[in-house]
A and B are shown apart, each in its own frame.
Chain A
């Protein structure tokens, strides 16, 4: 690559416990952090993905730039020591970064392998980055490629069909606690997408009724309507705790919403009927101490993942196939990256024009049988001259030093490559 490298930094559910992830969860959207990233001088392109399970940050920087420490400082905001950072954070370069990102996109790195949500989250994050002008030619290609890899994995392997999501895990646990879910009452705290999905699964398993509590009541009413349920305000939480059986919490609140003493006091009036809490919010909504109460079961997303582990083996075979696809695509992308450098582009361009010239010459000669040796030579010479004169300007353009001193050869390579359609060979297979 000509003078730039891809750098990927991240934390995910495997490397980092939820307590640490809470500290870097970027709950206020993508705009601010992306704008901040853009200001780092060496950073040419950047992309940020933040979900409840992972934060992935991709930057394209100049080859020699050492901006890792800047970015680490940006991510953790100084809340962690250096040792802790290196313990939790992973950093990948170039080919490894590409491979990792493809794994993420194909949902092979997900907590629930094969779940489809991640691709949507990837695309949404890309939309933000593109709107803010953070992505350039390299990342555009990179991210589009990861979308198509994800699609390919989904269509060519069975990994999505047996995909068990967090909500599926929740249903499985609920069944171990309640036996049948018929007639059980579900309370959704917060009207997020994850909660909606989980509720959908539970209703599919025959759950009796759904209650939605949300800070903005109108959103709660909308969601409740979907499940033929009712909406309540957050103030009525305590009364609701006496009646419901399953609580799924996914609010964006920074504080705990339900504390241990809140639940302890309702257990008596519930006559010790079991309560099942699922906390899919980051930062967490529910007091981790709830688990200490008899007949109360509390799971956060990390815990749910270990449930999903149980029926993992069936998917492992498909995962092997999927990883092979990712390996293959990562290699192809690597080749494409190398092709982006100036020298290979010049070679490709020459080759293309030469091939065309050769082809047309052969065709002409076959139609003109009477043309003899010296005439042939003259014609060939002329064709070569034409093609090299045509090539002259694009080649000078490619080789030129840009006047501002900033190396924008990646842009030029991109222009030439798309103008002359030099990437066809890579994509067709």
Chain B
């Protein structure tokens, strides 16, 4: 089983690499045929990622989401399927290029941490684990899409404002399409993030008796949650859109990254079981 799982992981890396390479070729050539192929390859990568996670599940006997390696693979998987499952992949021109590169980078990061199987500590042996960690990572998947959208928005906005129409102008989608993408991904991501925090809190009540005990990861999740809450609130009430919205989507994602890695390495706490 170990060999199969390892082979699967290698093929995931390889196929994702080819997918992002194809997307990059499409980005420069704008050949529609290549985009079709790139989409197909990314879909194959998504399926392979799913298979890899399943194989890992069979190996360790629980949802493979506890070690650093597993969590990041799950993150990449969530991003891939968040991208593949929504229809804006059609309306937002060349979005796939950025997303596929991000997915590939995540997989590279995951390959750098240990693939060793770690037995589950007793505290985590609960059906809350897949629900809480899974939902949180799916939220990260959507928020990473918002991040990609934010970056594209800033690049495109700069070209429009500076009136120098360089390489991105014709290749990037309209500002409105990007803004809508950011808005959709933020909302969806925020809902999952909220669910993740709520389930975590319920689980903590069950496991340790209190809903909340200011563990660094919890604190930072809350900070992240507030960053997104404020920007969604402002977006709806006073129309924080456009450049400010894009900047906030990027800032929020930076907070997500810190919660995911920074906290584990710098601050420790109950969430750092592995890593």
Contact = CB atoms under 8 A, between A and B. Distances in A.
Contacts of A303: 163
B241 interface: yes
B32 interface: no
B160 interface: yes
A93 interface: no
B244 interface: yes
B262 interface: no
Interface in B238-275: 238-244
Contact of A307 (B165, B177, B240): B165
Nearest to A311: B170
Interface string B138-179: 000000000000000000100011011100011001111100
Interface residues of A, number: 23
Question: Which of B174, B177, B243, B244 has the most CB atoms of chain A within a 10 A radius of its CB?
Answer: B174
Interface residues on B, range: 20 to 34
Contacts of B243: 294-295
Nearest to A302: B163
User: Binding site of B, secondary structure by majority: helix, strand, loop or mixed?
Assistant: helix
Given A177-B175, A179-B177, A306 B165 contact: yes
A363 interface: no
Contacts of A291: 161
30 contacts: A176-B156, A176-B160, A176-B175, A177-B160, A177-B176, A178-B174, A179-B173, A179-B174, A179-B176, A180-B176, A270-B239, A271-B238, A271-B241, A272-B238, A272-B239, A272-B242, A272-B244, A273-B239, A273-B241, A291-B161, A294-B244, A295-B241, A295-B243, A297-B160, A299-B163, A303-B163, A306-B163, A306-B165, A307-B165, A310-B165
Interface string A231-273: 0000000000000000000000000000000000000101111
Interface string A7-20: 00000000000000
Nearest to A271: B239
A272 B161 CA distance: 16
Contacts of A192: none
A175 interface: yes
A272 B169 CA distance: 22
A420 B208 CA distance: 114
B242 A294 contact: yes
A274 interface: yes
A43 interface: no
A173 interface: yes
Contact of B174 (A175, A273, A307, A309): A175
Interface string A167-192: 00000010111111000000000000
